[in-house]
């Protein structure tokens, strides 16, 4: 069901969904701990007979370790329920290099295990003449690994150099203490050194979504994410309905400013709202209405006519008004109240 519906109350986001594809960091957990309401909401979805699977750009851990962590949090999960960006990276590398080739790995165990499972040989040194470089996030990645990647990638690919695949380019990663640098910052360091761009396997590229849909035979999947630039953009590119949940990286101000290709089907304060009827968003004569919340476009001003009784409805109404205008947010004067952020975040 699109954000702009025709009925007074639409079905809940989960209605008709056969597979829920959930991001992890910022959606299910932040650091080691579960986010409020995430575990019970996902278990309730499973009880409602939707399959639950997980898609993660995080390359630091294996699918087995992710499944074990989720199970400890109360979400019974098998390794096969977890689709990782290293798995998508191996699909790309299989198209680029010969079976059994040596690959320079920048990353941790999650990436090493997938490289070996795919039949490649792992090296950490550019002196071993690797056939490709694959790079993923791990807390232990430092200057030495980044330097080896730069040494191996010194020749541009169009001049006979080797392929370079990044599991993802997320700039940040939510942690229990706050927002930390992600793999995108590390990939950028190598890019700055060698002047090359990596091929990206994970979100927002489509291979990781295609792998998930095929693995679970999804006919009507719903993807849950916390980032517009990777999660929602990737789901849109893959033709999958999406819900942005405001428990991770992106905040209400980011939602209001979302470009057209990164706008979610649903905007949720937390995962409990998966089970609630999703309200109709009406836009008429520049006024967006969501239940009791009303936001108007008045020339260069965005005006709050009514805040309503739910903060999430005000965000939905504000986004609808700005999106329907066809104008970028920097062309408006936006009241600070519309940026208010009472939603949980790490």
HEC assignment per residue over 285-338: CCEEEECCEEEEEECCEEEEEEECCCHHHHHHHHHHHHHHHCCCHHHCECCHHH
Neighbours of 306 (CB within 10 A): 16
Q: Which residue has the tokens 């239940």?
A: 291
Q: What CA–CA distance (Å, rounded) separates 17 from 120?
A: 37
Catalytic residue among 23, 170, 226, 250: 23
Q: Are 70 and 46 in contact (CB under 8 A)?
A: no
90 token code pair:
């191996």
Tokens 């009507």: give the residue.
Answer: 220
Q: In Å, how far are 46, 222, 223, 255 from 17, measured between CA atoms? A: 11, 6, 10, 24
Q: What is the DSSP string of 229-296?
A: IIIIHHHHHHT-EEEEETTSS--HHHHHT--GGG--SEEESSGGGGGSPPBPEEEETTEEEETTEEEE
- Distance, CA of 328 to CA of 322 (rounded, Å): 8
Taking each helix axis from N to C end, the angle separating 207-216 and 85-94, rounded to the nearest 10 degrees, works out to: 100
User: Which DSSP string do the residues of 75-95 spell out, in sequence order?
Assistant: ----GGGEEEHHHHHHHHHHT
Half-sphere exposure of residue 87: CA atoms within 13 angstroms, side-chain side: 22
Tokens of 150: 């730069």
Nearest to 207 by CA among 264, 163, 167: 167
Catalytic, 25? Answer: yes
Among 15, 18, 25, 47, the active-site one is 25
Beta bridge partners of 267: 244
**Active-site annotation, residues:** 23, 25
């Amino acid at each position: 069901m699109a954000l702009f519906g025709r009925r007074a109350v639409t079905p809940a986001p989960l209605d008709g969904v056969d597979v829920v594809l959930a991001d992890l960091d910022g959606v299910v957990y932040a650091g080691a701990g579960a986010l409020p309401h995430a575990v019970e909401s996902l278990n309730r979805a499973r009880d409602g007979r939707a399959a639950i699977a997980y898609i993660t750009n995080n390359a630091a851990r294996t699918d087995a370790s992710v499944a074990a962590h989720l199970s400890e949090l109360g979400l019974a999960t098998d390794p096969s329920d977890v689709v990782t960006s290293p798995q998508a990276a191996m699909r790309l590398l299989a198209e680029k290099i010969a079976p059994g080739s040596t690959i320079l790995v920048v990353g941790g165990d999650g990436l090493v295990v997938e490289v070996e499972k795919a039949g490649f040989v792992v090296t950490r040194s550019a002196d071993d003449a690797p056939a490709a470089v694959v790079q993923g996030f791990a807390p232990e990645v430092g200057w030495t690994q980044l330097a080896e990647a730069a040494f191996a990638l010194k020749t541009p690919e169009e001049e006979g150099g080797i392929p370079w695949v990044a599991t993802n380019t997320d700039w940040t990663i939510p942690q229990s203490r706050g927002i930390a640098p992600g793999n995108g910052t590390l990939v950028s360091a190598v890019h700055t050194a060698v002047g090359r761009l990596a091929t990206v396997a994970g979100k927002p590229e489509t291979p990781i979504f295609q792998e998930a849909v095929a693995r679970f035979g999804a006919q009507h999947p719903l993807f849950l994410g916390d980032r517009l630039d990777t999660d929602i953009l990737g789901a849109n590119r893959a033709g999958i309905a999406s819900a942005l949940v405001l428990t991770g990286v992106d905040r209400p101000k980011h939602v209001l400013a979302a470009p057209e290709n990164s706008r979610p089907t649903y905007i949720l304060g937390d995962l409990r709202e998966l089970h609630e009827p999703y309200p109709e968003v009406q836009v008429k004569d520049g006024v967006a209405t969501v239940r009791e919340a009303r936001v108007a476009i008045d020339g260069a001003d965005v005006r709050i006519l009514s805040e309503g009784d739910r903060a999430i409805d005000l965000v939905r109404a504000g986004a609808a008004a700005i999106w329907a205008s066809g104008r970028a947010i920097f062309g408006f004067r936006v009241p600070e109240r519309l940026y208010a952020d009472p939603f949980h975040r790490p």
